[in-house]
Structure 1
Amino acid sequence: MNTDATRPSTLSGRLDRLPFTRRHRRLLTGSGIGWALDAMDVGLISFILAALAQQWDISKTESGWIASVGFIGMALGASLGGLLADRFGRRQVFAITLLVYGLATGASALAGGVAILLVLRFLVGLGLGAELPVASTYVSEFAPARIRGRLIVILEAFWAVGWTAAALIGFFVIPASADGWRWAFVLGAIPAAYALFVRWGLPESPRWLASRGRADEAERIVAAFESDAGIAAAPTSSVAAPAAVIAASAGARLRSLWSAEFRLRTLSIWLVWFCVNFAYYGAFIWIPSILVDAGYDLVRSFGFTLVITLAQLPGYAVAAWLIEVWGRPLTLSVFLVGSAVSAVLFGTASGDAAIIGSGMALSFFNLGAWGALYAVTPEIYPTSLRGTGSGWAAGVGRIASIIAPLLVPVLLGVGGAPLLFVVFAAFFVTGAVAAWGLVDRRGQPLDDR
């Protein structure tokens, strides 16, 4: 084991100095699997809605509410999850949210009508909404500064894995029988079991522990990462509490988001989250149903959606590289502009090749933008506000994801797919402009106040 006398003595400096170790990989993979399971659940509902529209003869308005009620839960869950993560820890809240939405998803398989499905989808959303911003905050607090953005985009890339799993279930399981959609919900219950691994298999954030005065626990975790890297452990005294905690109570933390220091970045991040959520969920929740309405049968519609979904992974890969080359605002804005152009092309596409090509471009750019957004969000706030700031940004975004599925039938009725996707493009462009109000902490240490 090597001893590095010049190694930084602060907890933040020690974490940022580390190479990417086996423990980083385990933490990233463990969190990423939870992220993928989230995506699988969100993706499944788009396929299930298309099946239920035929089996239960539900209207587009009812379909819109089934989609939107989950996002109502997500808005509430994201807002509460961030507050709870700053109070009780990242890992604890991460595990509880996986348990909540996993159990509610499994129970959805037993739903006999729209009313009970609405209740269960709200509970699913509650867990999902809290989990996503907490997971990105959690990983960002372990990641070395020089590759932090890249690791968060890789974490977000697990979303494509989960959405692809949903597309495969939609293609092979849901059309297989009248109860195919129920079996899809059963598969979506896997996160309930995975929550046990998160609770006991992953460490708590040492930055959060230090901010709560639990220096000994933080030291043991950092020392374990250093040991993996072949670095001799630093003295326990090197783990110091932050110089000043921004705010202790939930109310004070919320007010701090709008202090002079954070006002512009809070406004900007809320606007980007709102715009991206509106366009993404408005489009991708409805794409299978829009294709069915265009004359494609259920299996072919799901097949097209599966191919479109596969373009998400290269989108994440390119964003993961560019975010450490171009920085956060430029990468985010470029991918949002690409999303806007792709949306217009998809809304006006005719013929199989044009639909698949423009849909793949929309997947590529939109999911690359999501990766950049999740990377920048936890970085713009200090440790004492990080969970709250990330959670409330996501919560505001979920308001848009509530509204969008309800407006889609209205916009389709007024101007069809061309008008719908032009509206989505306008939201993407607005988000691209708002991205320039964010700070770029590429390669810089996190603020541990």
Structure 2
Amino acid sequence: MTTDIAAPSAAPSSAGNADSAGAASVTIRNAADVSRLVNSGAAKRSDARIVVAIALGGVFLDAYDLGALAFGIKDVAREFSLSPTGTGLVASAITFGAIIGAFIGGYLTDKIGRYRVFMADMFFFVVAALACAFAPNEWVLGGARFVMGLGVGIDLPVAMAFLAEFSRLSGRGNKAARIAMWCPTWYAAISISYLLVLLLYAVLPDGHTDWLWRLILGFGAVPALLIIAIRSRYMSESPVWAANQGDLQGAAAILRRSYNIHAQVAEEAKRTPAPPARRAAWRNYGELLKGVYLRRTVLATTIAIASSFAYNAVAFGLPVILSTFLAQSMLSTILVSLALNLLFAFAGGLLAVRLVPTFGAWKMTVLGYACQLAALLGLALVGLPDGGGEAAFSIGMLALFLLGQGFGPGSHSMTFASLSYPTSLRGVGVGFNQTLMRASSTLSLFLFPVLSAALGTGVFWVIALAPLVGLVALLAIRWEPAGYDVDAEDFHPV
């Protein structure tokens, strides 16, 4: 694995005087000093954890909105008398929006800053969720889902930037661990959508099933409004991004406010501000395919595409698998789907957060793909279960797949995407990764019902190719992003 760590900046100096809160004054001279302060976890008490929690709230919205229609699409088709093609277009509108949103969002995150993009993104979620809830026809619903997809696509590049740039480099709560938090957050959102479906399924009268999907989609506005309400108290721009833009005064103000670090800009730095480390531009997408970033981009995108293809086919097809292949009732399908997500996918995500500082993202992703490959081969070999024993084995294989996804590629696809690039390229790096990943999601969501109808349980042989490709890529490119100071590459190019 690579060990090409850039030389660290000289440590920022600490003056002997202190501010009113008793914190020592720190002088910053350049962006490297700001990055060093954040990476070292210099703050004893700060708002950084709250910023991370709010960023994860955006990830929650992404997952919730993507999965909210899984159980309601049949009711939508019936209410609006949709053909199979029309149903597919309404269901996939959000993924098409996410593809475009990720590409645009990656550029905007680097161009105008993390804070502005994140706040604008929240309004996308509110407007789109309410439009979905009150949609009078399929055109409004599809359009609102597309706008919602734009928000989903824009959000992940900026959320990952916040997680990476408000976390220390090593130790507990480091960058890799906090980025991995996106995974259990994602599964928690999916599980909450299942719980809401279960609750509404139980309390709504039979004659008003059309309310189910409207209430589920409309609920997505609630967490977005909460984030908007508390943004002014806790959210701020990334100090590393501000410093990289040459705004050391702004970075110092953020360090004082969000990190409780009494930072002051050196007089010589005030007189001759440094230019941006790398100016944001559309051509920066091309930088991802040059030099040392090429192999990282190949690995990160292969992991993302393979993970997305397999996960979407299995997880979003879970109701179909349980109800068709395993002959479960609607209520049993909801309960088993909820249990599998909570006990295995969510738990696996928590394991990733706990263990990545010790084992690294590369080893955990290899192990996760190995579990998924074994699970899919097991499902393919059993085929249609004949009796309770085989059905239990098949459900066990689904559990193994979701566990492997949780602690492996599900968590660390974002670790590779976010920590393979320095601050100046992080937005476009995650945006490029997410654009290809969303395209893979769209393809798998389209192909799974087609292939399962044609091949039955033989579809698992096809899905098994995804973790196999991921394993091959990892063995060919042994890049470990966890614990590596990639932000230093802005100051000492590799």
Give the structure-1-normalised TM-score. 0.90
**CA separation in 1, counterparts of 2:139 and 2:323?**
25
Structure 1 equivalent of residue 306 of structure 2: 275
CA shift in 2, pair 1:274/1:217, >3 Å: same
Superposed CA deviations along residues 332-357 of structure 1, whole A, max 9, x for unmatched, are 22212212222333454634533443
Residue 171 of structure 1 pairs with residue 198 of structure 2: yes
**CA separation in 1, counterparts of 2:458 and 2:127?**
38
Q: How far 1:154 sits from its partner (Å)?
A: 2.0
Q: Is the 8 A contact 1:50 1:288 kept in 2?
A: no
**How many residues are matched?**
443
**CA separation in 1, counterparts of 2:187 and 2:55?**
14
Residue 339 of structure 1 pairs with residue 379 of structure 2: no
Instruction: Write the letter of the residue equivalent to 2:194.
Output: A
**CA separation in 2, counterparts of 1:63 and 1:305?**
23
Indicate which of 333, 339, 348 corresponds to 1:301.
333
Structure 1 equivalent of residue 463 of structure 2: 424
Structure 1 equivalent of residue 484 of structure 2: 444
Moved more, 199-208 or 77-86: 199-208
Indicate which of 17, 23, 26 corresponds to 2:40.
17
Indicate which of 415, 420, 424 corresponds to 2:455.
415
**CA separation in 1, counterparts of 2:426 and 2:136?**
41
Structure 1 equivalent of residue 406 of structure 2: 367
Structure 2 equivalent of residue 402 of structure 1: 442
Q: Is the 8 A contact 2:245 2:276 kept in 1?
A: no
Q: How far 1:72 sits from its partner (Å)?
A: 1.0
Superposed CA deviations along residues 302-340 of structure 1, whole A, max 9, x for unmatched, are 111111111222101211233212222222222122122
Residue 90 of structure 1 pairs with residue 114 of structure 2: yes
Residue 287 of structure 1 pairs with residue 326 of structure 2: no
Structure 1 equivalent of residue 296 of structure 2: 265
List runs of 5+ in structure 2 lacking aligned partners: 1-21
Q: How far 1:195 sits from its partner (Å)?
A: 4.5
Q: Is the 8 A contact 1:78 1:129 kept in 2?
A: yes
Structure 2 equivalent of residue 151 of structure 1: 178
**CA separation in 2, counterparts of 1:290 and 1:214?**
53
Residue 185 of structure 1 pairs with residue 217 of structure 2: yes
Superposed CA deviations along residues 141-199 of structure 1, whole A, max 9, x for unmatched, are 11100021111112432112211111101222146341211111121222441342464
Partner SS, residue 277 of structure 2: coil
Q: How far 1:209 sits from its partner (Å)?
A: 0.6
CA shift in 2, pair 1:419/1:134, >3 Å: farther
Partner SS, residue 336 of structure 2: helix
Superposed CA deviations along residues 114-143 of structure 1, whole A, max 9, x for unmatched, are 443322221111111110222011110111
Residue 120 of structure 1 pairs with residue 147 of structure 2: no
Structure 2 equivalent of residue 357 of structure 1: 396
Greater Rg over alpha carbons, structure: 2
Structure 1 equivalent of residue 355 of structure 2: 322
CA shift in 2, pair 1:435/1:125, >3 Å: farther
CA shift in 2, pair 1:226/1:108, >3 Å: closer
List runs of 5+ in structure 1 lacking aligned partners: none
Q: Is the 8 A contact 1:269 1:435 kept in 2?
A: no
CA shift in 2, pair 1:98/1:357, >3 Å: farther
Q: How far 1:419 sits from its partner (Å)?
A: 2.1
Residue 37 of structure 1 pairs with residue 61 of structure 2: yes
**CA separation in 1, counterparts of 2:45 and 2:379?**
42
